[in-house]
C-alpha cells in the first residue's frame, strides 16, 4: 500500500480564509458592544458634580465668638467648628493621651499614629479652634455640643461622652471624632478638604 519512496509534504502556510476574517470582525464588534453597554454602568459610579463641588469648602469664621460653635456640611457630613475658651483648651491640654480610650489623634493633617494631645487635635498656632467631623464613632449619630460629663460633646443615642477636644472619654464609641483635612486660608477663613 505505501511506497517507500513516497514523500508526504505537509505545509501549514494556508492563507487566512474569509471565515477567519468574519470570526475576527465579529469578535471585535462584540467587544466594542460589550464596552458600550458596560460604560454607563461604570460611569454612574463616579461622584456627581455636586459631590465634587463639595470636595473642599471655605468657611468664614469671622462671626464665631469665643465659646461658640457652628456646623457646616462637608461631603454630606456635619463638621463642627468651635472657637474654644481658654478654660476648654487648658482642660483638654491637661489630659494625657495614655489615659484616653483612644490615644490616637485621628487627625488627617498628621501622621496616622500621632498621639491624641490637644495640640494634635487642633491647628498649630490656632489651638483655640477645633474643626472635626461631627459624627459619633460608635454608630454614626450626631452628638450634641457642650454636653456630657466632659463639657464637650455627648451622643444621647448610646451615651458616648467626648471632651472639649473631641476625644472619646466615656461610652461605647471606639475612636475620637475625626479631624478632616483643613487649613487656615486667612485668619477669618478655613478651607476644609
Q: Are 151 and 91 in contact (CB under 8 A)?
A: yes
Domain of residue 124, CATH code:
2.102.10.10
Residue-level pLDDT at 147: 85
The overall average pLDDT reported for the chain is: 86
Domain contains 102: yes
Number of domains in the chain: 1
Tens digits of per-residue pLDDT, 23-49? 888 999 988 888 888 888 888 887 766
Domain region containing 78: 52-192
Strand residue runs (E) in 2-115: 57-60, 69-74, 77-83
Q: Are 34 and 53 in contact (CB under 8 A)?
A: no
Tens digits of per-residue pLDDT, 121-157? 988 888 899 999 999 988 888 998 888 888 889 998 8
Tens digits of per-residue pLDDT, 163-173? 999 999 999 99
d(CA 182, CA 193): 6
pTM for the whole structure: 0.70
Is residue 10 flagged as an active site residue?
Answer: no
Domain contains 1: no
Torsion sign, CA atoms 93, 97, 102, 106: positive
CB-CB neighbours of 49 under 10 Å? 8
Domain contains 18: no
Per the residue annotation, which of 10, 138, 158, 161 is the catalytic one?
Answer: 158
Residue-level pLDDT at 192: 92
Domain contains 15: no
Amino acid at each position: 500500500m505505501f511506497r517507500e519512496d513516497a514523500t508526504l509534504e505537509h505545509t501549514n502556510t494556508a492563507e487566512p480564509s474569509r471565515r477567519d476574517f468574519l470570526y475576527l470582525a465579529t469578535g471585535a464588534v462584540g467587544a466594542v458592544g460589550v464596552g458600550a453597554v458596560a460604560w454607563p454602568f461604570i460611569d454612574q459610579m463616579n461622584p456627581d458634580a455636586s459631590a465634587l463641588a463639595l470636595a473642599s469648602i471655605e468657611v468664614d469664621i469671622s462671626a464665631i465668638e469665643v465659646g461658640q460653635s457652628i456646623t457646616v456640611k462637608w461631603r454630606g457630613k456635619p463638621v463642627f467648628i468651635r472657637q474654644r475658651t481658654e478654660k476648654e483648651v487648658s482642660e483638654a491640654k491637661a489630659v494625657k493621651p495614655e489615659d484616653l480610650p483612644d490615644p490616637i489623634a485621628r487627625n488627617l493633617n498628621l501622621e496616622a499614629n500621632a498621639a491624641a494631645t490637644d495640640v494634635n487635635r487642633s491647628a498649630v498656632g490656632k489651638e483655640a479652634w477645633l474643626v472635626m467631623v461631627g459624627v459619633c464613632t460608635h454608630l454614626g449619630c450626631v452628638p450634641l455640643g457642650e454636653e456630657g460629663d466632659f463639657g464637650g460633646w455627648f451622643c444621647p443615642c448610646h451615651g458616648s461622652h467626648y471632651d472639649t477636644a473631641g476625644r472619646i472619654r466615656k461610652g461605647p464609641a471606639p475612636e475620637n471624632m475625626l479631624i478632616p483635612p483643613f487649613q487656615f486660608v486667612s485668619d477669618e477663613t478655613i478651607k476644609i478638604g
